[in-house]
Structure 1
Amino acid sequence: MPALPSWLTDPLWDQFCELLPMRGEFVPDHPLGCHRRRIGDRIVFDKIVQVLVFGCGYRKVADVSCSATTIRGRRDEWITAGVFERLELIVLELSDLPVDGCHTKAPCGGEVAGPSPVDRRKGGMKRSTATDAGGIPARRGHRPWQPARLPLLAPTLKRLERLGPLPDGATVHLDAAYGTDKRARTAEEHGLRAEVAVKGVAAPIQNTRRWPVERTNAWGNQFFKIARCTERRAEVTDAYLSMAHAIITLRRLIRRSWSLYRWDTRPAKRP
């Protein structure tokens, strides 16, 4: 059973392939010379997507076409080349930027794991996500669990600089857990206004522009590699988060286009 439908993986691969560095058919620096052809990038790409969606180990998805060592090696090669980081640079509506965090499991420890307050202090990871007004992921940050969300706000907003100039009066929408005073100064340092929910006020009144990020976090947790992160290196965790956000973005764009356009590989049902 494929990890994702072909109408989603094919355009994702087209974009991913354009970001890959040029490589020859053989490995030029192999110690034994050019005795074996390089495994195709598409094969390794499909294996990495399976690991992301199913959350399984590399040996579980390895077969005669590709070994677990090759998957890990090619993954690290693409991380060094910055392919995953550039894959998710697509956003649409930047006038409103909801930001929120969530907790996930990290049972194997590592650079981004710490004691989780919502799981009896077992290994966990806290990530902060910023989206555009439609819920398309813009930037994210992660770190071992901390008692306050404010330490994650600054690095999350700093990552927005890669998107270029933001619209005048762009507003960051936060929940009450981010505090009231420091968050305004943190947002002003990045040229943004901050709108924070106030405790004691009915949630439906304040969640008009903040709910898309809650939905995006729920979509991200459907990838079992993120919901239960077993990677110990921060750069590998970043790579899987970037790919998950790219899949979420692509699915949203296809959903918006489904009712407006027609194409040969258009899904029979609206995604």
Structure 2
Amino acid sequence: MTDDLVPDDLWERVAPLPPAPPARRHRSPGRVRVPDRVALAGIVYVLRKGVAWRDVPAMLIGCSGVTGWRRLRDCTQAGVWPRLHQLLLTELRTAGKLEMDDCAIDGSHIRALKGGRHVGPSPVDRARPGSKHHVIVDRQGTPLAVSLTGGNRHDVTQLIPLLDAIPPISGLRGRPRSRPKRLFADRGYDFDKYRRLLWKRGIKPVIAQRGAPHGSGLGRTRWVVERTFAWLHQFKRLRIRYERRADLHQGLLELACSIICLRRLRKAL
């Protein structure tokens, strides 16, 4: 089952990234450490199935849910998931499957059941505690950067942070790419201040205007970001936020983005 959850092409990219195991402090060997690939299978199982960590089938996976949670914590603190995402984006650009001239941005509400940081009253869910996923994608819907905020945060507040979160993506001759030429967004991003900030960065804002009738035509380009949210929320653990720790939910988001990038890379090879 480990090979199904963590196929060889995913593992060969993850294997060099996790932190080294801590040195033993005692002479007695103690319990044998669970291999990183098996622990990653437990993490991916929770990410896909949406089960609680205590419900991970240790007999099938090879590790307990507690071990998977601890390894998720350690890898998140070591910055494994952003490096994996950047590596896959670089491979996509090398294969000619990354179209960064046109990008789209949007946010999506989710319910947060256990509180924690980046939780706020959701304006679309009767002020229940919620969070927001924010993502910026290329023209084909490949996630370039993702972030987590409280459910009461306005989408536009994450426009500049998400642009800054796009890693430098190499893979071709010349300098690494980290900025689009045009950015597509809905009416929630229609603020003169942010239009000026985009122009200052050399990015043309293509944003629907508030108060204008529907049918701006931007949907022909911007729909890919909605499809990306559908891809992300196929991972059942991301449909509702169960993690009290925001950094762990962010880590699961980044791992899901990496798996989406790997799927696109498989089609290119």
Q: Could you tell me which residue of structure 2 aligns to residue 266 of structure 1?
A: none
Contact kept in structure 2, 1:171 and 1:195, CA below 8 Å: yes
Contact kept in structure 1, 2:167 and 2:178, CA below 8 Å: no
Q: Could you tell me which residue of structure 1 aligns to residue 14 of structure 2?
A: 16
Contact kept in structure 2, 1:175 and 1:196, CA below 8 Å: yes
Deviations, residues 94-121 of structure 1 (Å, cap 9, x unaligned): 1111111111111111112111111111
- 1:162 and 1:237, CA in 2 relative to 1: closer, same or farther beyond 3 A? farther
- Counterpart residue identity of residue 43, structure 2: I
In structure 1, distance between residues paired with 2:189 and 2:142: 21
Q: Could you tell me which residue of structure 2 aligns to residue 67 of structure 1?
A: 64
- Counterpart residue identity of residue 58, structure 1: W
Please, what TM-score do these two structures have when normalized by structure 2? 0.84
Q: Could you tell me which residue of structure 1 aligns to residue 95 of structure 2?
A: none
Q: Could you tell me which residue of structure 2 aligns to residue 263 of structure 1?
A: none
Please, what TM-score do these two structures have when normalized by structure 1? 0.83
Alpha-carbon offset, residue 140 of structure 1: 1.4
In structure 1, distance between residues paired with 2:260 and 2:3: 12
In structure 2, distance between residues paired with 1:4 and 1:57: 21
Contact kept in structure 1, 2:2 and 2:38, CA below 8 Å: no
Deviations, residues 225-246 of structure 1 (Å, cap 9, x unaligned): 1111101112101110011101
Structure 2: runs of 5+ lacking an equivalent: 93-97, 171-175
- 1:162 and 1:62, CA in 2 relative to 1: closer, same or farther beyond 3 A? farther
Q: % of aligned pairs identical?
A: 31
Aligned CA-pair RMSD? 2.5
Structure 1: runs of 5+ lacking an equivalent: 258-271
Alpha-carbon offset, residue 180 of structure 1: 3.3
Contact kept in structure 2, 1:131 and 1:137, CA below 8 Å: yes
Q: Could you tell me which residue of structure 1 aligns to residue 231 of structure 2?
A: 219
Give the 5 Å matches for 1:1-271.
Answer: 5=4, 9-23=7-21, 28-30=23-25, 33-64=28-59, 65-89=62-86, 90=89, 92-146=98-152, 148-163=154-169, 165-166=176-177, 170-199=181-210, 200-203=212-215, 205-257=217-269
Equivalences, count: 252
Contact kept in structure 2, 1:28 and 1:34, CA below 8 Å: no
